[in-house]
Amino acid sequence: MNETFISVDIEASGPVPGEFSMLSVGACLVYEPTETFERVLKPITMNFDPEALAVTGFDLDQLTRSGQTPEECMRAFADWLQAIVPSGSKPVFVGLNAAFDWSFINYYFIKFLGVNPFGFAPLDIKAMYMGLFGCAWKDTKSSLMSNALNAELQGNHNALIDAVFQAELFRLVHKKSTIQKRD
């Protein structure tokens, strides 16, 4: 089966899905990053971690009025995946600290649609990088990776911009691993 790599980033009001809300989601095809998906969501709870909320720049009251319902968002995301992923290919969730972002995506897909199109195994760029370069976990910060890989983009805690940045990091790590494998 072919695989289609999808870079996904989320912004949330805290560290745990269900207790806190996913506030935005951004995604792009890793190898065609102009093919994008982006939504801002209504919170499912008004719980928040002040630091997490400050990083997002969102206001929960405003999102309650202007955000898309989680059901609508996840249906639109599933529809986008179905339209963008070729027949016979499996979407692979790619993230930077994938466990965090995937936990929210998985929770929301299961809670609101009953199924997660990505399945249960996200691909983590930080772990790939650590394995390839033999570095310490502390050396897998996006800023350090970006410098070491000569990335052109930067993240800024906007889910779509971060997803596109992550896609670049994945491509650079993957290219480097392919070159090393040939040598």
The verdict on residue 131 lying in a domain is no
Check which CATH number belongs to the domain holding 92 and give it. 3.30.420.10
Where in the sequence numbering do the catalytic residues fall?
A: 157
140-167: average pLDDT = 95
The verdict on residue 133 lying in a domain is no
pLDDT(25) > 70: yes
User: Residue 11's domain spans which residues?
Assistant: 2-125+138-182
Which amino acid, one-letter code, is at 31?
Y
What per-residue string of b and e applies to 7-45 under the rule 16 or more CB within 10 Å gives b? bbbbbbbbeebeebbbbbbbbbbbeebeebbbbbbbbbe
The total of structural domains in the chain comes to 1
The rounded distance, in Å, linking the Cα atoms of 105 and 21 is: 11
Does the pTM of the predicted model rise above 0.75?
Answer: yes
pLDDT tens digit string along 49-104? 999 999 999 999 999 999 999 999 999 999 999 999 999 999 999 999 999 999 99
The verdict on residue 157 lying in a domain is yes
**Residue 70 confidence (pLDDT):** 98
Label each residue of 17-52 as H, E or C. Answer: ECCECEEEEEEEECCEEEEEEEEEECCCCCCCCHHH
**Residue 162 confidence (pLDDT):** 98
